[in-house]
Structure 1
Amino acid sequence: MPAVLIADKMSARAVEIFHERGIAVEVKTGLGKEALCAIIGQYDGLAIRSATNVDADVLAAASRLKVVGRAGIGVDNVDIHAASKRGVIVMNTPYGNTVTTAEHAIALMMAAARMIPQATMSLKAGQWEKSRFQGVELYQKTLGVIGTGNIGSLVIARAQGLGMRVIAYDPYLSKIRAADLGVELVEMDTLLARADFLTVHTPLTDATRNLFRAETFAKMKPGAILVNAARGCIVDEAALYDALKSGHLRAAALDVFCKEPVHGDNPLLELDNFICTPHLGASTEEAQVNVAIQVAEQISAYLLRGVVQNAVNLPSVKEEELLLLQPYLNLGERLGLVLGQLAGSGLREVVIEYAGEVAELNTAALTTAILKGILQSALPETINAVNAPVLAKERGIGIETRKRESADELRARIAVTLRMDQGERVAVGTLVHEHQARLVQLDGIDVEMPLAGDLLYIQNRDEPGLIGRIGGLLGAAGINIAQFHLGREKPAGAALSFIAVDQPLTEVLLEQVASLPGVLAARMLRL
């Protein structure tokens, strides 16, 4: 009989589900790391929420552990790499609290617009300050939504029900899907300038960290109201303080913070036009029950039947296929990562061509791995091989796959094309030395580049002296170049460079590279 440990507080319904399916279950919450390590070797499954930290030490002690189930979305408290290395599947429940979080974002927006918390405190203090708390209506106002995934789309529907005009920014939202949602798809700067209210529903990535900083607030419409119920550190809290203090923003409402729990020394708490909640986006009775049910059902299905649902670290592949497929899964995901980080907005279609021996394998699993790579830099961290096709479909992104028997001079080749509202990008990759992922062509330019680590990508004109200028600038900044790979269309024509560096460039240094003579664009790629 499989045994499961529930290590965090969750609905009692989870225990009932394990019992109903004949799985032994114990509930031991509040365990410290040492205590958890001492007993984790007794269990095949571990059900957690956000309190328990499943790090490499815990996983090393988990000799029987096969699956970790997170009752919720984020898996920041699980060492995914260590779990994967030990063959432990990590699952989450990405859909159990979407409605709850969307409703909380709307509640924050309405509370900020009508100053409900401030008025409540004033009245409880014995004051009747009716004239002080003059709010603004949501009706006929423009709501800007950044991120239109599961939660963002629910916020859109609810805002439309309140009579709001909705505009949206999402680089992975096609015009067709935007029309289905009834929103106007705009660029980021346009959204900032037009939105009376702005709500963000993106993951915390390198691209979204401090997305709202001083420069962003300066572009926002005077008197706008900002809501963040997504992730902390998307908002630069010091810059938000200045924007609120100066009156440029009318108000802000945060459910998440860069450092949690929040203590009284956070200066935002001093401001009358700032309201907040202690990370309550998923805190409703219904959501807690839903995620508990889902995690118990998913763990049970895997332990009893080998069914993998909502895994964040394993594609749905039969055991006998995985050995042959794994190197290609790695190649496909890394090709997707390259294109996902280089793509423009309005992704409409992904076309994948498998040629040579790879075309004979389980290309459905490969396709999901490629989609995961493409989407994960811009979509919530719950993106995985299981839900990637669903998320792509929700955004109106078409998927086309093709197969060819011959890969020309290569044994196998994967070519991925992104078709966007403005043009397309194409990456071609293969395996060398049996398992190493290599990029062999980007946008028609031949280049051979290992797909790993931190890569500085440069679009440039093919002209003398450019390599020296780049190398000199990086050297002066103390950035060591591990590899330097070049490709060009023709002499004196379009060219590109991939530079493997030992550490990522700062934004300032990246801007300096981009401003060098002959450089057309520069980006850091994280693989």
Structure 2
Amino acid sequence: MAPRVLISDSLSETAVQVFRDRGIETDFRPNLGKDKEALLAAIGEYDGLAIRSATKVTEKLIQAAGRLRVVGRAGIGVDNVDIPAATAKGIIVMNTPFGNSITTAEHAIAMLLACARQIPAADASTQAGKWEKNRFMGVELTSKTLGIIGCGNIGSIVAERAQGLAMRVIAYDPFLSDERALELGVEKVDLGELFQRADFITLHTPLTDKTRNIIDAKAIAKMKDGVRIVNCARGGLIVEEDLRKALDSGKVAGAAIDVFSEEPATANVLFGAPNVVCTPHLGASTTEAQENVAIQIAEQMADYLTTGAVRHAINMPSITAEEAPRLVPFVRLAEQLGSFAGQLTESGAKAIRLEYEGAVADMNTRALTAAALAGFLTPQLQTVNMVSAPAYAKERGIRVEETRREQAGAYESYMRLTVVTERQERSVAGTVFSDGKPRVIQIKGINMEAELTERMLYITNRDKPGFIGRLGTTLGEAGVNIAGMQLGRDHEGGDAIALVSVDQAIAPEILEAVQAIPNVIQARPLTF
């Protein structure tokens, strides 16, 4: 029986024809996604569901989808899809991560100009019959410094366009290498320096735990008087109340905002502020972009439904059915090693080296490397997956190296990941035991054996008496239960590592107390 696809949002006729040309029975019902009950009643008849943002793929919908194998989102954001529920049901979720890049970058430049010259307010005033030339005094972009927060695919396009406007461009991105910055012609700086130097600031970073509220009152206080801020990335990157106060006081001369903490934004603290330009999340809204992402998602879904090929999947590794049983535990190991290193890496990564030794060296190391890169990049990007991770790494100028060799040590299979930054190299190694569970067996050259759990505390310290007792007391007094603890050291009295599994999250004040323990060098919470 031919696969059957439902398109429940508005996609182009060209995309619909892509499905039909591939022999896929296609029902184009662009308004169905707005009717939850009707969609729920119909979903059980389809193998594929193609959507934009109007359709909400909830757990309830997924449970009713008895045949559904793939959900395709025409666009990058998958906030309207319950990915854990889809994964549990074995449904692949795909998106089109690069289809909107130029359109979003162009909108950011348009917002930059609109903010600098107060175009929306001047338009409203003029059309109201006023002639207020003196009121709308603007500023030039030429020779001004543009600070870009997040210099990935979209940010790099903005940098190129801004240079065409004769702006000086500085950029902050933890994954931007010196080589990539040189190639782009931007100056790489840390976040504090960007705040101090930039005349204009534009955000092009995903919303993660590390980037949420990246611009707040403290950040604004570091900025130049009269700075102008543009956000066409994600709501939640800016504390909107703090920005409003800065606009009212004149500290921030202007802002151009396309995304909001709550959408649809029918009311917002920024509305009515002096010299603020607001648009209703139009970053991806051009005819060309909408056509591109619609065709791309149709092609991706058609490939999967007819050949089994998987591209740009959020929740599915690129692994064939034949190799999956043997490879999956090593994919998990690779993700964990990458995540471990990614959570501890704060400066720009120049290179990532993967070493495969023993039986694992004969496996699909391309998939394992992709899994390791996804794990490494996820703390910063979150939407990255095994398919898109190599592209994201290349885009940020991170050199990826693979080495394969025969077994030389005690382990049948051995995998080591090394991150090279401007300041140091950090390595973590692991293996998979006969129980199929991944284990970390070496950190920074120090041997230890540990299973990575959901919540952990990573501590580097000097090997001196009393540390373990003080650590247990500190965590116990804070109400944090220790589920397990693994220790390692390079030599007696030298450098040591503690990897502690805990049952509760480590609050900032608890982390400060741990860091205050004598001989502790570094303490970081980790999640897996």
- Please tell me the TM-score bracket, short chain as reference: over 0.9
- Does the 8 A contact of 1:407 with 1:413 survive in 2? no
438-447 or 26-35: bigger deviation: 26-35
Q: What is the alpha-carbon distance in structure 1 between the residues aligned to residue 470 and residue 227 of structure 2?
A: 44
Which of the residues 283, 287, 290 maps onto 1:288? Answer: 290
1:244: Cα distance to partner?
2.1
Q: What is the alpha-carbon distance in structure 2 between the residues aligned to residue 424 and residue 480 of structure 1?
A: 32
Counterpart of 2:397 in structure 1 is 396
1:37: Cα distance to partner?
2.8
Counterpart of 2:362 in structure 1 is 360
Counterpart of 2:182 in structure 1 is 179
Could you say if the C-alpha distance between residues 322 and 247 of structure 1 is closer, same or farther in structure 2, counting changes exceeding 3 Å?
same
462-471 or 346-355: bigger deviation: 462-471
Could you say if the C-alpha distance between residues 481 and 274 of structure 1 is closer, same or farther in structure 2, counting changes exceeding 3 Å?
farther
Amino acid aligned to 1:259? E
Pairing of 1:324-339 with structure 2 (within 5 A):
324-339=326-341
- Does the 8 A contact of 1:92 with 1:382 survive in 2? no
Structure 1 position 106 matched with structure 2 position 109: yes
Q: What is the alpha-carbon distance in structure 2 between the residues aligned to residue 273 and residue 433 of structure 1?
A: 64
Counterpart of 1:158 in structure 2 is 161
Structure 1 position 507 matched with structure 2 position 498: no
Structure 1 position 73 matched with structure 2 position 54: no
Query: TM-score by structure 1 length?
Result: 0.95
Counterpart of 1:278 in structure 2 is 280
SS in 2 for 1:40: helix
328-337 or 347-356: bigger deviation: 347-356
Deviation digits for residues 267-288 of structure 1 (CA, Å, limit 9, x no counterpart): 2213113221111111111111
Structure 1 position 208 matched with structure 2 position 211: yes
1:338: Cα distance to partner?
0.8
Deviation digits for residues 88-141 of structure 1 (CA, Å, limit 9, x no counterpart): 211111121111100111111111111112222222333322111111111111
SS in 2 for 1:46: strand
Deviation digits for residues 6-41 of structure 1 (CA, Å, limit 9, x no counterpart): 112222222122122221111232344443332212
Q: What is the alpha-carbon distance in structure 2 between the residues aligned to residue 450 and residue 126 of structure 1?
A: 71
Which of the residues 266, 269, 283 maps onto 1:267? Answer: 269
1:407: Cα distance to partner?
5.3
1:332: Cα distance to partner?
0.2
Counterpart of 1:18 in structure 2 is 19
Which of the residues 314, 317, 340 maps onto 2:316? Answer: 314
Give the aligned CA root-mean-square deviation in angstroms: 1.8
Could you say if the C-alpha distance between residues 42 and 110 of structure 1 is closer, same or farther in structure 2, counting changes exceeding 3 Å?
same
Which of the residues 31, 34, 55 maps onto 2:58? Answer: 55
Deviation digits for residues 339-397 of structure 1 (CA, Å, limit 9, x no counterpart): 01111323111111111221121111111111111122223x44221222222222222
Structure 1 position 254 matched with structure 2 position 225: no
Counterpart of 1:134 in structure 2 is 137
Amino acid aligned to 1:332? A
Q: What is the alpha-carbon distance in structure 2 between the residues aligned to residue 278 and residue 248 of structure 1?
A: 25
Could you say if the C-alpha distance between residues 469 and 131 of structure 1 is closer, same or farther in structure 2, counting changes exceeding 3 Å?
farther
SS in 1 for 2:16: helix
Which of the residues 379, 382, 387 maps onto 1:377? Answer: 379
- Does the 8 A contact of 2:460 with 2:497 survive in 1? yes
1:442: Cα distance to partner?
1.1
Aligned length: 525
- Does the 8 A contact of 1:142 with 1:197 survive in 2? yes
Deviation digits for residues 261-311 of structure 1 (CA, Å, limit 9, x no counterpart): 2133x2221311322111111111111111111111111111112221111
Counterpart of 2:123 in structure 1 is 120
- Does the 8 A contact of 2:462 with 2:495 survive in 1? yes
Could you say if the C-alpha distance between residues 362 and 476 of structure 1 is closer, same or farther in structure 2, counting changes exceeding 3 Å?
same
- Does the 8 A contact of 2:455 with 2:501 survive in 1? yes
Q: What is the alpha-carbon distance in structure 2 between the residues aligned to residue 275 and residue 505 of structure 1?
A: 40
Counterpart of 1:226 in structure 2 is 229
Q: What is the alpha-carbon distance in structure 2 between the residues aligned to residue 286 and residue 83 of structure 1?
A: 30
Amino acid aligned to 2:173? D
- Does the 8 A contact of 1:72 with 1:97 survive in 2? yes
- Does the 8 A contact of 2:231 with 2:256 survive in 1? yes
Amino acid aligned to 2:125? S
Amino acid aligned to 2:353? V
- Does the 8 A contact of 1:335 with 1:428 survive in 2? yes
- Does the 8 A contact of 1:115 with 1:135 survive in 2? yes
Q: What is the alpha-carbon distance in structure 2 between the residues aligned to residue 245 and residue 3 of structure 1?
A: 55
Counterpart of 2:449 in structure 1 is 448
Q: What is the alpha-carbon distance in structure 1 between the residues aligned to residue 178 and residue 525 of structure 2?
A: 28
Q: What is the alpha-carbon distance in structure 1 between the residues aligned to residue 88 and residue 254 of structure 2?
A: 46
Deviation digits for residues 437-492 of structure 1 (CA, Å, limit 9, x no counterpart): 22111111223222231222222222333334433443344333322322222333
Structure 1 position 2 matched with structure 2 position 3: yes
- Does the 8 A contact of 1:118 with 1:272 survive in 2? no
Which runs of 5 or more structure 2 residues have no equivalent in the other structure?
A: none
SS in 2 for 1:52: coil
504-513 or 332-341: bigger deviation: 504-513
Structure 1 position 95 matched with structure 2 position 103: no
- Does the 8 A contact of 1:171 with 1:347 survive in 2? yes
1:501: Cα distance to partner?
2.5
Q: What is the alpha-carbon distance in structure 1 between the residues aligned to residue 39 and residue 434 of structure 2?
A: 41
Q: What is the alpha-carbon distance in structure 1 between the residues aligned to residue 272 and residue 476 of structure 2?
A: 45
Q: What is the alpha-carbon distance in structure 2 between the residues aligned to residue 210 and residue 467 of structure 1?
A: 35
Amino acid aligned to 2:279? T
1:219: Cα distance to partner?
1.6
Amino acid aligned to 1:98? S
1:215: Cα distance to partner?
1.7
Could you say if the C-alpha distance between residues 367 and 167 of structure 1 is closer, same or farther in structure 2, counting changes exceeding 3 Å?
same
1:168: Cα distance to partner?
0.9
Could you say if the C-alpha distance between residues 506 and 360 of structure 1 is closer, same or farther in structure 2, counting changes exceeding 3 Å?
same
SS in 2 for 1:451: coil
Counterpart of 2:300 in structure 1 is 298
92-101 or 246-255: bigger deviation: 246-255
Pairing of 1:28-39 with structure 2 (within 5 A):
28=29, 29-39=32-42
Q: What is the alpha-carbon distance in structure 2 between the residues aligned to residue 222 and residue 499 of structure 1?
A: 45
Which runs of 5 or more structure 1 residues have no equivalent in the other structure?
A: none
Query: TM-score by structure 2 length?
Result: 0.95
1:69: Cα distance to partner?
0.6
160-169 or 344-353: bigger deviation: 344-353
- Does the 8 A contact of 2:33 with 2:56 survive in 1? no
Could you say if the C-alpha distance between residues 481 and 259 of structure 1 is closer, same or farther in structure 2, counting changes exceeding 3 Å?
farther
Counterpart of 2:476 in structure 1 is 475
Amino acid aligned to 2:304? Y
Amino acid aligned to 1:193? Q
Amino acid aligned to 2:418? T
Q: What is the alpha-carbon distance in structure 2 between the residues aligned to residue 485 and residue 245 of structure 1?
A: 53
Could you say if the C-alpha distance between residues 41 and 466 of structure 1 is closer, same or farther in structure 2, counting changes exceeding 3 Å?
same
- Does the 8 A contact of 2:34 with 2:54 survive in 1? no
Q: What is the alpha-carbon distance in structure 2 between the residues aligned to residue 458 and residue 364 of structure 1?
A: 32
Could you say if the C-alpha distance between residues 34 and 481 of structure 1 is closer, same or farther in structure 2, counting changes exceeding 3 Å?
farther
Q: What is the alpha-carbon distance in structure 1 between the residues aligned to residue 515 and residue 270 of structure 2?
A: 36
